Amino acid sequence: MGIINSFLETMADLAAESGFAGFIQDGGWKNIIMILISFLFMYLAIAKGFEPLLLLPISFGMLLTNLPFAEMYHPEYWEYIEGVAERGGGTNDHYIDYGRILQHGGLLDILYMGVKLQIYPPLIFLGIGAMTDFGPLIANPKSFLLGAAAQGGIFFTFIGAAVLGMTAAECGSIAIIGGADGPTAIYVSSKLLSKTDSIGVGTIALAAYTYMALVPIIQPPIMRFLTTKKERSVVMGQLRQVSKIEKLIFPILVTVIISLMVPSAAPLVGMLMFGNLLKESGCCDRIAKTAQNELMNIITIFLGTSVGATTRADKILTLSFGKVILLGVIAFSIGTACGVLLGKLMYLVSGKTINPLIGSAGVSAVPMAARVSQKVGQEEVPTNYLLMHAMGPNVAGVIGSAVAAGVLLSIVQV
């Protein structure tokens, strides 16, 4: 009898400690919804091909973090502690107890340190730089203007978020989605947002990557609406050849100028340009290949799963998440529209030699946005190849959104 009783007691304890019991507990139903949402994102990544390299790790991180009692991620550890005395005097209101995280944190807490300490996004930029050819931009430096104009989406969305009554940190984090650059969005939001904000880094990352995958659907109607058939039919001539020395000087020059102007953009721009210098130098092939492939893939896994882990039920199932989704698509659309409108202006100023469609590529989703310009251009003139012309604004957009991120970080200080 005693054996049976102890067996039943043990089984009851096990059941009470299992994750299933967690679903029945107070608020446990929210976790079930979140797990279902993670299944939806997995479906979008696998079956629909929505940025699978990032959405799949993010959605799996989302699944892991919402399993009750798995204790892989603890949002409470990331809460800022106010009024902590600094060694050099003064107090720090944004203190995070990393010692506690290292001692008691779960796997995803440890991986998330790379996000919060701003390590992963610059390393991703290193890989992007090693993969990017800035030749089209050097051949046609005017493309920089289109890359700058498309950042309009970021700043106009800031207004929208403020109107909806969000905090400065939330406004900055949502607005940066308009840059169409995942690592930049994560970089800014992880620096600005804290647990007291109604949205998390994961929410911003999910919205950014989902909309980046939707670029081919969001952009073409705006591009067609803002341009005439005649403008879309402009055939652009071939770009000039860029010499190796020009390609070598470019990353060094951009790093120096941008880092001196907006120091808070230095980690992103610096690593982007370092990666590019590795590629262009031609003498560091091994390192350049590692940055492009192995390092980038490893960081993508860490970044994706740990960012996904921040999408806890209490952060997603809120009204603010709806606002992020709404403002995110507005940010993308305004960015596209600003790029196309400046493209139209350049079309007029250049004596009708610039096709305004390349302006939409100023949002930095590389190379998707440039491909969209190419596709919409070919609908009018099948022999028109706008791809390389659009790559100029496209890579300028990457630099532009890193600068915009630096500006946001230096204005919206937390």
State which residue, 105 or 152, has the beta carbon closest to another protein: 152
Burial class (CB in 10 A: 0-12, 13-18, 19+), 333: buried
Residue 317 binds to another protein (criterion: CB under 8 A): no
Length of the chain: 414
- The letter for the amino acid at 253 is L
| Segment interacting with another protein, rule: CB under 8 A, options 59-67, 208-216, 252-260, 375-383 | 252-260
Binding another protein (rule: CB under 8 A), the pick from 154, 222, 387, 398 is 154
User: Which residues on adjacent β-strands are paired with residue 377?
Assistant: none
Interface with another protein (CB under 8 A), residue total 53
The beta strand positions in 86-133, using DSSP E, are 91-92
Among 309, 270, 355, 396, smallest CA distance to 116 is for 309
Cβ neighbors of 381 (< 8 A, separation 6 or more) are 233, 235
State which residue, 154 or 358, has the beta carbon closest to another protein: 154
State which residue, 49 or 141, has the beta carbon closest to another protein: 141
CA distance 167 to 170: 5
Residue 136 binds to another protein (criterion: CB under 8 A): no
Residue 152 binds to another protein (criterion: CB under 8 A): yes
Could you tell me the smallest distance in angstroms from the CB atom of residue 382 to another protein?
31
Cβ neighbors of 304 (< 8 A, separation 6 or more) are 53, 54, 55, 56, 57, 58, 60, 61
Residue 197 binds to another protein (criterion: CB under 8 A): yes
CA triple 182-325-107, angle to 5 deg? 50
Instruction: Work out the number of other CB atoms within 10 angstroms of the CB of residue 46.
Output: 13
State which residue, 55 or 404, has the beta carbon closest to another protein: 404
Binding another protein (rule: CB under 8 A), the pick from 124, 128, 174, 192 is 192
Q: Helices 107-116 and 182-192, interaxial angle, to 10°?
A: 100
Residue 298 binds to another protein (criterion: CB under 8 A): no
Among 159, 157, 149, smallest CA distance to 174 is for 157
Binding another protein (rule: CB under 8 A), the pick from 226, 271, 313, 396 is 396
Contact letters for another protein, residues 43-82 (x by CB under 8 A): ----------------------------------------
State which residue, 56 or 269, has the beta carbon closest to another protein: 269
Residue 391 binds to another protein (criterion: CB under 8 A): no
Phi–psi pair at 258, nearest 5 degrees: -65, -40
Residues 200, 201, 206, 212, CA torsion sign = positive
Instruction: Work out the number of other CB atoms within 10 angstroms of the CB of residue 73.
Output: 27
State which residue, 133 or 379, has the beta carbon closest to another protein: 133
Collapse the DSSP code of 81 into the 3-class scheme (helix H, G, I; strand E, B; otherwise coil) and give the result: strand
Contact letters for another protein, residues 232-251 (x by CB under 8 A): -----------x-xx--xx-
Residue 168 binds to another protein (criterion: CB under 8 A): yes
Residue 264 binds to another protein (criterion: CB under 8 A): yes
| Segment interacting with another protein, rule: CB under 8 A, options 5-13, 112-120, 222-230, 405-413 | 405-413
Residue 133 binds to another protein (criterion: CB under 8 A): no
Binding another protein (rule: CB under 8 A), the pick from 41, 60, 156, 347 is 156
Site for another protein in 202-231 (CB under 8 A): none
State which residue, 189 or 227, has the beta carbon closest to another protein: 189
Alpha carbon 149 to chain centroid distance? 19
- Stated as kind and residue range, the H or E segment containing 68 is none
Residue 321 half-sphere exposure toward CB, CA atoms < 13 A = 15
Residue 404 binds to another protein (criterion: CB under 8 A): yes
Question: Is the CB of residue 231 less than 8 Å from the CB of residue 344?
Answer: yes
Residue 91 binds to another protein (criterion: CB under 8 A): no
Residue 244, both tokens? 């190796």
- Where does this chain bind another protein (CB under 8 A)? 94, 137-138, 141-142, 144-145, 147-148, 151-152, 154-156, 158-159, 162, 165, 167-169, 171, 192-194, 196-197, 243, 245-246, 249-250, 253-254, 257-258, 261-264, 396, 399-400, 403-404, 406-408, 410-414
